[in-house]
Amino acid sequence: QIQLVESGGGLVQPGGSLRLSCAAAGASFGTMAWFRQTPGKEREFVAAFRANGGGTYYADAVKGRFTFSRDNTGNYLQMDSLKPEDTAVYYCAAKTNRVILSALRFASSYTYWGQGTQVTVSS
């Protein structure tokens, strides 16, 4: 059974850091990604990793502040210099195949999703 489980969300002050984890089980994934969503809005692409030398990609809004990493058990999103506008529910997503570059930012490109973890940036 394929399962993605996020953890690591919480409340942090502006300028602070959080590290999200996505534990992945049940398959090898060609692409893993993070999205975020606020009430009334569609899921927004944050970052993605494509296996086998496919590279790591970031949304402009988080480039230079967020870092995607991975190991054999899942992936991580290190979030530094957090801003109030980063407040959202963060979701881990995955697909067994490699997603083409032009489709990385679309939620419909991914087959598997975690349950989400809340990140709140506020003083």
**Phi (first) and psi of residue 73, to 5 degrees:** -105, -10
Cα(65)–Cα(114) distance, integer angstroms = 23
Cα distance between residue 75 and residue 104, in whole Å: 16
**pLDDT at residue 106 in the model:** 97
Contact present, 68 and 58 (Cβ < 8 Å): yes
pLDDT (tens, 9 = 90+) of the chain, 123 residues, equals 889 999 999 999 999 999 999 998 888 899 999 999 999 999 999 999 999 888 999 999 999 999 999 888 889 999 999 999 999 999 999 999 999 999 999 999 999 999 999 999 999
